[in-house]
Amino acid sequence: MIWFFILLLVLVFTGMPMFIAIAGSVLLMLVGFSDIPAQTVVQRMFSGLNQFPLMAIPLFILAANLMGRGGISKRVIALTNALIGKVPGGMSVSVVLACLFFGAISGSSPATVVAIGSMMLPAMIKRNYPEPFAAGLIGSTSSLGIIIPPSITMIVYGAVTGTSVGELFIAGLSAGVVFAIVFIIYCIYYGKKHNLVSDEPWSIHEIMFRTKDALFGLGIPIIIIGGIYGGFFTPTESAGVAVIYAFFITMFVYKEMSWKDLFNVLVNSGKTTATVMVILASASVLSWYLTVEQVTVQITEYMTSLTDNKIIILLLINLIILVAGMFLDGSSLIVILAPLFYAIGISYGVDPVHLGVIMTVNSAIGMFTPPFGLNLFVLMGISKQSLLKLSKGMIPFIAISLIVLAIITYIPSVSLFLPNLMYGK
């Protein structure tokens, strides 16, 4: 079995597309070392996608692209600036809140970097915020996009492990709010320390205008989150409602998207969906192969033989995922590691929902951790800064994120209080 992991790592680090690396590794192992027919790989790929919750992924991707192209992000940024832009470090606090909101639309970290960073990075620099701080803040808080529902990463985790997506979403909401609060505290502290205070007076008129302007855009997270937890529809159904709402608002209310733009949005959404789905198909193959070869059982037995201390096991899980997150995107990381850690977590009494939040937060931190954090490369295109300079600016935010990770890991009620309350556990 060690040869399988060596083969997988070789294919990944040679730049092979993730789905080929995963499915190809299984295929080669079956052909060379098993009597199982090779066509089983294709069969497992198709059966792995035959799950109703996965329908939410293309719909949420389309809704996010519609709202992003339709002018929602700039209205939300203007509103948050009007509300809290006058407090110390107010513009940086606006970035956190804008990322929190846009994450509730997109479910994607890189998409949040583009939507928020392209507007807020120049504005922060113009207001005398140090460029490393501004870029570091945007790159790190954009990772809220995969923690706050509708998180595509959590949908993938739910599909791979069979965990309730609804419970994962509400747990992610709790974790994301904690994440945001800690970052807001740091932003206010930084603003006071460096005297980053706006000298413009508060304007009730501006607040009212910005609220009215962003009102329709603010409706989509209410529809998604309120609809699910109000019992009106499932996460998948909420995604369909979000698409219809987003289409109507961007085309007929804000009127910032033409029919030609709509066609481009549909094409881009289709490409993104295809990328995610083919990885999920290969994930099904990997999960099946690990089960057939009893790899999860062997690894679980090995780790349980090392220690019976739940705290140490959670620490090991975090370290492994953090390192892996430096090289893999969130969905790929979940695909590879969730089947392993799910079995280990169950054996130690870790709630599957809690484990899902831990893995998602780790994945979020990996998105802005050097050397291969995806947010870093997106930021390079926006800021024109070098990877080294961006990496230095990320250091304090990585440290803060690790504190948040420790809180979420070792205080399960942070993530589980609301799901347990709402689902009667």
pLDDT digits (tens, 9 = 90+) for 260-317: 889 998 998 888 788 778 877 877 787 788 777 777 567 667 766 777 788 998 998 8
* Dihedral pair phi/psi, residue 102, rounded to 5°: -65, -30
pLDDT, residue 151, reads 82
Domain boundaries, the chain: 1-38, 39-422
Burial 62-90 (b: 16+ CB within 10 A, else e): bbbbbbbbbbbbbbbbbbbbbbbbbbbbb
Query: Residues 25-80: pLDDT tens digits?
Result: 888 888 888 888 888 888 888 887 777 767 777 887 787 778 777 777 678 777 87
d(CA 331, CA 276): 8
Q: What is the mean pLDDT of residues 207-231?
A: 77
DSSP-derived letter for residue 35 is: S
d(CA 117, CA 113): 5
Q: What is the mean pLDDT of residues 190-219?
A: 79
Q: What is the mean pLDDT of residues 198-227?
A: 76
Q: What is the dihedral of CA 348, 350, 356, 361, to 10 degrees?
A: -90
pLDDT, residue 1, reads 63
Q: Is residue 165 scored above 80 in pLDDT?
A: yes
Q: What is the mean pLDDT of residues 391-420?
A: 91
Pick the more confident residue, 233 or 405.
405
Question: What is the dihedral sign for C-alpha 366, 319, 341, 352?
Answer: negative
pLDDT, residue 72, reads 73
pLDDT, residue 198, reads 66
Least trusted range by pLDDT, from 26-40, 87-101, 102-116: 102-116
pLDDT, residue 189, reads 92
Q: What is the mean pLDDT of residues 185-198?
A: 87
Mean pLDDT of the chain: 82
The string of DSSP codes covering 162-208 is: ---HHHHHHHHHHHHHHHHHHHHHHHHHHHHHTT----SPP-HHHHH
d(CA 414, CA 417): 6
pLDDT, residue 421, reads 83
Residue-level length of the chain: 425
d(CA 282, CA 116): 32
Provide the H-helix boundaries in 367-412.
374-383, 387-410
Pick the more confident residue, 131 or 79.
131
Peptide bond into 221 cis (omega under 30): no
Asked if 352 contacts 410 with a C-beta cutoff of 8 angstroms, the reply is no
Tokens representing 34?
């098993």
Question: How many distinct helices (H) and strands (E) make up the chain?
Answer: 22, 0
The string of DSSP codes covering 224-268 is: IIIHHHTTSS-HHHHHHHHHHHHHHIIIIIS----HHHHHHHHHH
pLDDT, residue 299, reads 67
Q: Is residue 257 scored above 80 in pLDDT?
A: yes
Q: What is the mean pLDDT of residues 371-375?
A: 71
